[in-house]
Amino acid sequence: MKKIGFIGLGIMGKPMALNLLKAGYELTVYDVNPEPVKEAGAAGASQSASSKEVAANSEVIITMLPNSPDVEKAVLGPGGVLEGAQPGAILVDMSSIAPLVAQKVSAAAVEHGVVMLDAPVSGGQPKAVDGTLSIMVGGPQETFEAVKDILLVMGASAVLVGDVGSGNTTKLANQVIVALNIAAMSEAMVLATKAGVDPEKVYQAIRGGLAGSTVLNAKMPLALEGNFDPGFRIELHIKDLMNALDTAHEVGVPLPLASQVLEIMQALKVDGHAQDDHGGLIQFYEKLAKVEVRK
């Protein structure tokens, strides 16, 4: 079994790392926050003081960090992965970052004899805990085959979609679909509630029909309880939609609906909701219509 390093033990990374430990992998971990490092240590991981040290001890290095600059810092920066990695090591960046940055980091890795896959995930914290994430991978086929078993400990599926960077392009498409679904759910449920129908009954009545969706099933029960604890923070979804717009404009695609939902999320951020779950987008509509969608 390959020796694995894991960098970034946040909402997603910590349960993913714990699943690798449970599957019997030898794991070395690092996060700038010492708390989750100690927790993973208590579960059997070797604790490390830098990304460089993780890389020096690992054949496969996984990063699960917030955004492009964090990945650049942890991989390319001083004390970073490339300072410690052995030639022949594989870097799997599972963060959601800009596709062009994934390609840039990959090119730098190749110069050090390290091959990189970009392998962002969908499914959120519950699926990170269950090990049932959907993983979308960009990079060479043989590198994908070499780490597929490891990916399938964390995910129910891992699909190679193309060259490095295309994992993140796929994730951007995913995030546009999720954002628009949450906005559609919010708009519709505020309408039904203010028109006088119990939103829980509306949810039960429509969830099996064409309007039903994974997003509706994941986010509506939480909205009914007024539970907007993250999950996936609004500020991270803003990052993904900004990356989606940049990429779309570069290739000549307008995103009229995604840009509207981005501005709704921006308004929520200004209103103090940046750390809420993205399902908390419904609060924008609730404020506009002066009604709460609750049980």
Q: Which residues are designated catalytic?
A: 171
Asked if 92 is part of the footprint of ligand NAD (rule: CB under 6 A), the reply reads: no
Element (H, E) at 209: none
Candidate list 65, 137, 151, 202; residue touching ligand NAD; CB under 6 A? 65
Q: How many CB atoms lie within 10 A of CB 6?
A: 31
SS3 category, 92: strand
Element (H, E) at 118: strand 115-118
Nearer residue to ligand NAD within complex by CB, 45 or 65 = 65
Nearest residue to 10 via CA among 66, 55, 62: 66
DSSP 278: G
Asked if 32 is part of the footprint of ligand NAD (rule: CB under 6 A), the reply reads: yes
Asked if 192 is part of the footprint of ligand NAD (rule: CB under 6 A), the reply reads: no
Asked if 70 is part of the footprint of ligand NAD (rule: CB under 6 A), the reply reads: yes
Asked if 64 is part of the footprint of ligand NAD (rule: CB under 6 A), the reply reads: yes
Nearer residue to ligand NAD within complex by CB, 166 or 193 = 166
- Minimum distance from residue 69 beta carbon to ligand NAD (Å): 9
Candidate list 84, 124, 167, 280; residue touching ligand NAD; CB under 6 A? 124
User: Within its chain, how far is the Cα of 40 from the centroid?
Assistant: 20
Candidate list 48, 96, 186, 243; residue touching ligand NAD; CB under 6 A? 96
Asked if 287 is part of the footprint of ligand NAD (rule: CB under 6 A), the reply reads: no
CA distances from 117 to 107, 148, 153, 241, 255 (A): 11, 11, 17, 22, 27
Candidate list 38, 43, 66, 148; residue touching ligand NAD; CB under 6 A? 66
